[in-house]
Structure 1
Amino acid sequence: MIVGLIITCEVAFWVLLAAGLALRYLWRMPRTGLALLLCEPLLEVVLFAVTAIDLKNGAQPDWRHGLAAVYIGFTVGLGHATIRWADARVAHRFAGGPPPVRPPKYGMARAVHEWKVAGRWILASVVALALLQAAAWYVGGHGDTSSLRAWQTRMLWLIGINVVIAASYTLFPKRAPAGSPGKPVR
């Protein structure tokens, strides 16, 4: 049941996103589209409530409950950026908005961009870690929480990987090729 609900939430996320953007830009109903986009967090509230009820009713915590926590964490950490990304592209394509801003390619500007991306992934992981820990405490000593602990380990690895990637752009900034705009030719 939990996995089916996670899949339903993911499909509903994209349906609400598409419908909200269509209302905003195709049918020129920006307030209605915004209202629909603001319904997105309700999906995670429903998933959270169903997962908590499932655990309260005596279900043994397993990978499905961990996946629900991770899904909620990723939606919190990455959902807003995803909506902003899609909104910029739809506004440009269908409403004459400015072209979407591309991330910088070189130097410290790229490093700053990578730290911002890492920050979103770290936020997602920290929220998932907190939900996983809350689930482990909720179950207490009455159940096997090893699957929840395994998800926590994965989230810690994800944080580490994102820090390493962002740090690599800081320590070894990518240089613009010779002859590119803004780069003197020697």
Structure 2
Amino acid sequence: MVDPLVLVIVACEVGFWVVLAAGLLARYALRLPRLGAVLLVCTPLVDVVLLVATALDLRSGGEAGVAHGLAAVYLGVSVAFGHSVLRWADQRFAHRFAGGPPPVEPPTSGPGKVRHEWREWGRFALAWAVTCAVVLLLVVAVGDPERTRPLWGQVRGMGVVGLVWLFGWPVHHTLVEKAKRSAR
């Protein structure tokens, strides 16, 4: 049987993309910029729904599990990367439907690539911090640290991902760029 919270997470992810697409279609295809702006401002409401559903499930006696941890991770990633996803989609819709300039692509090398990689990793660090805050909020809301102990496993897992990301991308590209400068 599928955990109902997993279904809520999936529904929130689908809801995010539906609200985003509706906002962009209203803004560019239908030429209703105010409606588009209202819909785009509503995208964070999806996160509120997920946070409330997670807290209610735990508060009503639910045992913390992977789904609750995933909800916290989803919220952290959504807060940290949500604006950049909106900007990414907005550039593409503006180009396709409103004659806007081609979307800006991230640099592929040089100091610009290094800055880009550090900025993206910084977003991940923010996602990790928000995830920690959500887990702490859930622990406090439930009032039983033993029942919510499994949530910290997601935080540790994100920490491992963050370390791999840190050394695999920003540190790696920084070292490559320094080696190029040294060779000149």
**Larger deviation, residues 25-34 vs 147-156:** 147-156
1:53 and 2:56 are equivalent in the alignment? yes
Name the residue aligned to 1:38.
41
Structure having the larger proportion of residues in helix: 2
Aligned with 1:70 (options 61, 68, 73):
73
Unaligned runs of 5+ in 1: 177-186
| 1:83-162 paired onto structure 2 within 5 Å | 83-141=86-144, 143-162=146-165
Unaligned runs of 5+ in 2: none
Q: Deviations over 1:19-67 (max 9, x none)?
A: 1110000111111001001111111111111111111111111111111
Aligned with 1:16 (options 9, 15, 19):
19
Query: 2:177 is paired with a residue of what secondary structure?
Result: coil
1:170 and 2:177 are equivalent in the alignment? no
Aligned-pair distance for 1:17?
0.9
Report the Cα distance in structure 1 between the residues aligned to 2:144 and 2:138, rounded to whole angstroms: 12
Report the Cα distance in structure 1 between the residues aligned to 2:125 and 2:155, rounded to whole angstroms: 13
Change in Cα spacing, 1:82 to 1:174, as seen in structure 2 (3 Å) is farther
Report the Cα distance in structure 1 between the residues aligned to 2:24 and 2:69, rounded to whole angstroms: 31
Aligned-pair distance for 1:79?
1.0
Q: Which amino acid aligns with 1:173?
A: E
Query: 1:173 is paired with a residue of what secondary structure?
Result: helix
Please say which structure displays the higher CA radius of gyration: 1
Report the Cα distance in structure 1 between the residues aligned to 2:34 and 2:67, rounded to whole angstroms: 36
Report the Cα distance in structure 2 between the residues aligned to 1:103 and 1:141, rounded to whole angstroms: 45
Contact 2:92/2:102 (<8 A) preserved: yes
TM-score (norm: length of structure 2): 0.88
TM-score (norm: length of structure 1): 0.88
Deviating above 4 A after TM superposition, structure 1's stretches of 4 or more consecutive aligned residues are none
1:29 and 2:32 are equivalent in the alignment? yes
Query: Equivalent pairs: percent with the same residue?
Result: 45
Query: 1:70 is paired with a residue of what secondary structure?
Result: helix
